[in-house]
Amino acid sequence: MGDKIRNKVFICSNNQQLLGAKVSSFTLEKYRRTDSFEVVILNTDEGSELDRLAGQTYLRAGEIHRFSATELQSWTLIRFAPPELMNFKGRAVVIDPDVFAVEADVGELFERDMTKAPILARRGKGKEDWASSVMVLDCARLRQWSLAKIVDGLLTHELDYRVLMDLRCETNPIGEIGEEWNCFDRIDGATRLLHTTVRMTQPWRTGLPLDMVINRPPPFMGVIPREWIHALLGRRQPTVHQEHPDPKVKTFFFSHLKGAVEAGFIQEDEVNLAVEQGQIRADIWEQLNRAESA
């Protein structure tokens, strides 16, 4: 008999988000109750099909953008790689680097009934959108997923990045998981996975210069650019990352980063290097000194 296929949780990241990804991994390991899955960090800065996009143009919400390999979110397309990486066997949970287990065993997601749909996700912010930031995948039924073909489609402008990320072009049925498994920027009694989805207020990046594509707000009354209205009102777009508005989210992150450092899961040198490279806030050690270890 062959070896049993081991399910995996894939945390998608690049170097800029790597510290967050490691805290994510720490929370997954800390709250797991069984050894039923393996945690893998996919760091696109270590090389992938996405390298072909560097400096090239692509469609994003109908507008032409130029792909930057150094942009904060340059890793996002790697979400579609796990089925192929699993040789189209077993199940995968795919999460962003800013998704953290809140006293939850992610192994529960592998036990979900997927007979009717090979993809499970929560509903997105738009009516037809799905949030691909947390997905449960039945890899054997996703053989058509190919990161190389996705990159080809983006390079020819046949695919739109936003449509792809919202799973609006997915031909497979998609099943729904509760919002508690991808809880946007809040912690309450139901939260299982916290997602710090507002990148501008990620707790570990406060004070750093903004380095991300900011989607333009829809025009007022469908005609007047909102940027004009904001300028008239004296409201300027922030140029640096802001503090997270929810103290519980901030406390959660720093207590778990401190726990990861104390456990040797993250080395102090890694934290210092991330500060030097401008990937995390300069006052990180002050924040950790005030935090209680998780």
Is the per-residue pLDDT at 236 higher than 80? no
Contact between 38 and 122 under an 8 Å Cβ cutoff? The reply is no
What span, in angstroms and rounded, lies between the C-alpha atoms of 99 and 146?
Answer: 24
Give the contacts of 235 (CB within 8 A, at least 6 positions apart): none
Residue-wise pLDDT tens digits, 74-99: 999 999 999 999 999 999 999 999 99
State which H helix or E strand residue 226 sits in: helix 226-232
pLDDT at 164: 97
Instruction: Please give the DSSP secondary-structure letter assigned to residue 208.
Output: S
What span, in angstroms and rounded, lies between the C-alpha atoms of 181 and 253?
Answer: 17
CATH 3.90.550.10 domain residues, the chain? 7-195
Q: Return the CATH class of domain 7-195.
A: alpha beta
pLDDT at 211: 67
Name which of 110, 97, 106 is nearest 139 in CA terms.
110
Query: Model pTM?
Result: 0.89
